[in-house]
Amino acid sequence: MAYTVPRARFLETILNTAQRVAVGFFDTLINLAESNSRLRRIETLKAMSDKELSELGLKREDIVPHVFGYAF
């Protein structure tokens, strides 16, 4: 019984550390994605009305291929 508590705390410490590492990793990925200029351009175009997009010669479904320069 005396060994149960230290093992449980050790496991809890390991799991908490793993969780912090995973959260940090995914936060980094999100920050990289948000800093991407293409993502900012997509967000800008998505915020436009359909009329504004049509003036640019775009349809809403064409935003991502337009920004990344390829067709699906």
**What tokens does 8 get?**
């449980």
pTM: 0.53
Query: Going by C-beta distance under 8 Å and a sequence separation of 6 or more, which residues neighbour residue 7?
Result: none
Contact 45, 67 (CB under 8 A): yes
Q: What is the pLDDT of residue 63?
A: 94
Sequence ranges of the domains in the chain: 1-35, 37-72
pLDDT digits (tens, 9 = 90+) for 10-55: 889 999 999 999 999 999 998 888 778 888 899 999 999 999 999 9
